Structure 1
Amino acid sequence: MQVLLVNARRSSYSGESISAPQLGLLSLAAVLREGTFHDTKGTDVRFIDDQLFVLQRPLATPNEFLRGHKPDIVGIQVLTSSLKNGIKLAAESRRHHPGALVVFGGVGATPLARQLVEDGAAEVVVKGEGEVTFSHLVHEYGTNGRKNLRKIRGIVFRDEDGTVVETPAAPQVMRLDKLPKPARDLADMQLYNQISRGRSGNLVTSRGCSYACAYCYSKHQWGVGQRRHSAERVIDEIRELVEVHGFDRIRIEDDDFVEDVPRMQELCRSIEKSGLQGKFEWEAKARPDLIDDDMARMLRDSGCFRLLVGVETLDWSLLKRLGRPVKVDVTERALSSLSKAGIGVQATLILGIPGETDEAMRSTITWLQSRLGDNRHDIVSPCFFVPFHHEVEKDMAKRVDFTLETDDSDCFTGHIPVTSSKAASIDELWKLYDDMTPTRRDGKYKRIAYLADLSTVQTRLGLLDGGAPQTKEPAALVPEVQ
């Protein structure tokens, strides 16, 4: 049984860098090879990062990634902004390996699972967390073909009589240490290392978040609540990244690294005792209402050089309505604590939150810039509100009024505006975008994370006169393959 796992590349104006492999697929690969949940040990698993493949071979034909493989199953992981490319890859897979089962998964596939199957983009879609479900699918398909897919929890598929079937949700992995370490040996870690200059190893120490912010898709993918790896497992994985793969900077991908304070303290102490301290530095994400002087010092002493802190907006009444009631003075204390400890801040803000005016958004940017900049790692990291998940869109619509200006999933990156509200029009949001981009910075907005020049983005979108991408009639998800 050969399984080909493919990370579909994001749309060309996502604004995101390629610096580390996609750990979700590498976790699936490790589970299959070791037979963690089902009898799949010995499966021939291959991994392709389509984003990296295109970077290496910019003139490659769409099907070139299939060469040298004869998969029985092709598993394609998609974000919302990589959905179209994932569908194209699936069509090419089906053309060149017509007997292979095409399976979709990831945060871009879960909310569209039924539509992807109905439109023929995928034979099967794995919903939510994938390790238990996908390994069961590989085992069942390898043993009985398509006969008993109804036994597998957490999938959507088309039955032999043509009926689209959605099975009950699969159980989550509650003890994350049961998962083997991601199969990084399948990825070209040397190339990732070269791209990031050895500075962007990544790992996950927990899954999920105990909070329920209305604009966040995490709870719909992982459920509400946080599940965590042990300190021993985390140190083991850090050691691999530093000593085997040569990374001297690590990005912890958790939704909130400091949510469980005693566990965070244990991890910091474990790093100090591991013999790895001084060999690498690391960054993570944290809510501002949990940060104080003592925590900041402990984070710094264990090698933390920067925290991504979600500020989002200074409008407390709006934050409260969206399920994140963090007041300005709390955020200011957190930024002060990190500054005193010498830890840089990547302050995120969400532009275009329905109900927030252009003036209020600009005030938030100015406020952040006045409090950041003493540390060379300080940066303001804006994104635009995007309902990445259908459940997010429904939840937000109950709380605030907004208009979705386009249904083009390529635009759902967070780096360009796709919604408007009575408080801020789409034209105002594009103007704000333009003011923040490199060629238009006149000293007013500084330390803004990279955004492509507006003219470049509009060219990619096919826009001549600015404004939002044109709203299109809903179309079938499967494009015609040339």
Structure 2
Amino acid sequence: MTKILLIKPTSGNAAHIQASPPLGLMYLASALKAQGGYDVRILDMRLHAEPMSFALKTARGMAPGIAGISAFSLESSTVHELAAGLKALPKPPMVIAGGPYPTSGPDDVLSDPNIDLAVLGEGEETFPAVVRFLESGQGVLEDIPGLAFRRDGKIVKTAPAQEIQNMDALAFPAWDLIDINAYAKAERFANVRKNRYMPVFTSRSCPYQCIYCHRIFGKGFRPRSPENVADEIEALVRRHGVREIEIVDDIFNLNAERAEAICDLIISRGLKIKISFPNAMRADLLNFRLLKKLKKAGVHFSGIAVETGSPRLQKLIKKNLDLTKVNESINMAFDLGITTVGFFMLGFPSETRDELLATVDFACRSRLNFATFFVVTPFEGTPLYDLCLPKLNKMGAPEDMDYHRNACNFSEVPDEEFFRIRHQAYRRFYSKAFSRIILSGAYKDVSLFQILRLSALRVL
């Protein structure tokens, strides 16, 4: 029986570690278990005080034949440290990397001799095919699509894997391989209040062309049927005692009719569940009918990814939001009692002082309950990275690619003024919004730590 250890690394930035159940690894584990004959385990380094030592101790005790690591680009340093530690074990496993980091930068990943293979894109079909190849010793690795590996000192990339079209054919994630209670106690994305929850993908891919996106799931829109989504939510509620669902689609509301059908099924089945959208919905596609139905189905919190208040930059980054409609959606959500957090990005290439202030002004004039002002962080493999490359070549890549702390400034504004504007953005927004947060009851949706932090911002 092949032993497979699937690992979710940490970014190493303890101040901002948020540990959501590793949905990608859970889907991968289900795909492997469906093949039969595999001892599959999931290890999440983010849940442990000494993540590296815990991961290596677990691997030493389990002695897996294969270790799969799924990572974002900001976790890259941990990936390489972990791979070196795994290869130093008495029985070193084959190390396979997957996720956005290797998908967007396979050459960088495979420059590390401790990483044997990279799975590019979706892994539910590619990873089991690799395992079967390793077990049987038959065939050639080049015939498996969606891979990158070294051969005679050169990096070989196989044909791109076909996107999974029948999303209903995927087995539900392997909930039994994680400790749901551990995630209920951990910090959550967007600082949503702690709860016994589970993330859910109701669709994959997005047809929009935003230049900062990894696009690991491709360019189209691949939805699950409303019935399949409702079946998963019902299983989580009735069998696993989950009290909240995080819908983590790239663009849940692209098809409003389908979104409403999911709401109707949740309501008709009597699923008393809270629902949040930490990744946000596309705000200029929302309408009152859908928002009202979302509220009735249990939606209490949603991100609104505005990014910039500049129409010119909306075109530059290919987000192309209708900012007037975005503001109307924020107002409708507020009137319905849905808590919203606005996501904004400051420091795009060619961004002027007036455009920076336009973004801050948009946030402060809106009825958003919360706002986060991220520093633009270009990740390799995205068009944004190519746009930022001239400045990156001059200054060198930043050591810390965490978008909370990234010290890069790609705008036309001098660094000192740029970071002062960002600091003032928080002060301006929360000085005005704090009373609204309290009076609207939005404070009930976020963690106590977040409220204390916002109190401090208000008086700084």
Q: Normalising by structure 2, report the TM-score.
A: 0.85
- Separation (CA, whole Å) in 1 of partners of 2:353 and 2:39: 53
Of stretches 66-75 and 236-245 in structure 1, the one that deviates more from structure 2 is: 236-245
Shift of the 411–432 alpha-carbon distance from structure 1 to 2, 3 Å rule, reads farther
Q: How far does residue 194 in structure 1 lie from its aligned partner after superposition?
A: 3.3
Q: Are the equivalent residues in 2 in contact too, given 1:308–1:346 (CA < 8 A)?
A: yes
Tell me if the contact between 1:83 and 1:109 (Cα under 8 Å) persists in the aligned partners. no
The answer as to whether partners of 2:10 and 2:51 remain within 8 angstroms in 1 is no
CA drift of 1:422 comes to 5.0
Change in 2 beyond 3 A, CA 1:13/1:387:
farther
Where does the alignment leave 5 or more consecutive residues of structure 2 unmatched? 188-193, 438-442, 454-460
From 196, 201, 206, the equivalent of 2:203 is 206
Q: Distance in 1 between matches of 2:386 and 2:111?
A: 25
Q: Percent identity?
A: 26
Is the 1:322–1:396 contact (alpha carbons within 8 Å) kept by the matching residues of 2?
no
State the shift of 1:68 in Å: 2.4
Bigger mean CA offset, 162-171 vs 22-31: 162-171
Shift of 1:25: 0.7
Q: 1:397-416 to 2 correspondence within 5 Å? A: 403=392, 405-408=395-398, 411-416=400-405
From 18, 35, 43, the equivalent of 2:38 is: 43
Counterpart of 2:100 (choices 92, 95, 107) is: 107
CA contact (8 A) 2:212 2:382 kept: no
Task: Note the C-alpha offset of 1:138.
Answer: 0.6
Report the 3-state secondary structure (helix = DSSP H, G, I; strand = E; otherwise coil) of the residue aligned with 1:423: coil
Residue in structure 2 matched with residue 471 of structure 1 by the alignment: none
Alpha carbons of structure 1 residues 258 and 73: separation in structure 2 relative to 1, 3 Å: same
Aligned to 1:463: none
1:228 pairs, out of 223, 226, 233, with 223
Match of 2:177 in 1: 186
SS in 2 for 1:108: helix
- The answer to whether residue 322 in structure 2 is matched with residue 334 in structure 1 is no
Once the two structures are superposed, the pairs formed by residues 189-268 of structure 1 within 5 Å of their partners are 189-195=180-186, 197-218=194-215, 221-268=216-263
Q: Quick one: which of 311, 315, 320 aligns to 1:320?
A: 315
Shift of 1:42: 2.0
Please give the residue correspondences for 1:418-457 in structure 2 after superposition, counting only pairs within 5 Å. Answer: 418-421=407-410, 423-435=412-424, 443=431
d(CA) in 1 for partners of 2:177 and 2:15? 25
SS in 2 for 1:356: coil
1:63 equivalent to 2:56? Answer yes
SS of match in other structure, 1:27? helix
Residues 286-305 of structure 1 aligned to structure 2 (within 5 Å): 286-305=281-300
- Aligned counterparts, 1:54-203, within 5 A: 54-55=48-49, 57=50, 60=53, 63-144=56-137, 148-159=140-151, 161-195=152-186, 197-203=194-200
Alpha carbons of 1:243 and 1:381: their partners in 2 closer, same or farther (altered >3 Å)? farther
Inter-CA distance 275–73: structure 2 relative to 1 (3 Å threshold): same
Spell out, residue by residue over 1:8-44, the C-alpha distance to the aligned partner (whole angstroms, 9 max, x if none).
11131672422x3110011111001102xxxxx2211
> Greater shift after overlay, 188-197 or 325-334?
188-197
Separation (CA, whole Å) in 1 of partners of 2:72 and 2:378: 12
Checking the alignment, whether the CA contact within 8 Å between 2:309 and 2:360 is kept in structure 1 is no
Pairwise CA distance, 1:299: 1.3
Structure 1 window deviating more from structure 2 (127-136 vs 361-370): it is 361-370
SS of 2:237's partner is helix
Cα deviation, residue 322, structure 1: 2.1
Indicate how the Cα distance of structure 1 residues 76 and 130 shifts in structure 2: closer, same or farther if over 3 A, else same: same
Question: Post-superposition shift, 1:265?
Answer: 1.2
2:387 alignment counterpart? 396
Matches within 5 A, 1:15-54: 15-18=16-19, 20-35=20-35, 41-52=36-47, 54=48
**Greater mean deviation of Cα atoms: 61-70 or 320-329:** 61-70
8 Å CA contact retained: 1:181, 1:237: yes
Q: Quick one: structure 1 residues 131 and 62, their matched pair in 2 at CA, closer, same or farther if it must change by over 3 Å?
A: closer
Q: Deviations over 1:367-399 (max 9, x none)?
A: 3233226xxxx211221211123232355359x
Larger RCO (CA within 8 A; separation ≥ 6):
1
TM-superposed CA distance for 1:296, in Å, is: 1.5
- Residue type of the alignment partner of 1:423: E
- TM-score w.r.t. the length of structure 1 is 0.82
Of 201-210 and 421-430, more deviation after overlay is shown by 421-430
Residues 14 and 81, structure 1, Cα contact 8 Å, conserved in 2: no
Range moving further from structure 2, 109-118 or 132-141: 109-118
Whether the aligned pair in 2 keeps the contact of 1:437 and 1:452 (CA below 8 Å) is no
1-structure distance, mates of 2:53, 2:92: 24
Question: 2-side partners of 1:344 and 1:154: how far apart?
Answer: 40
Q: Identify the residue that residue 280 of structure 1 maps to in structure 2.
A: 274
Q: Report the CA distance between 1:427 and its aligned residue.
A: 3.0
Task: Name the structure where helix makes up a greater proportion of residues.
Answer: 2
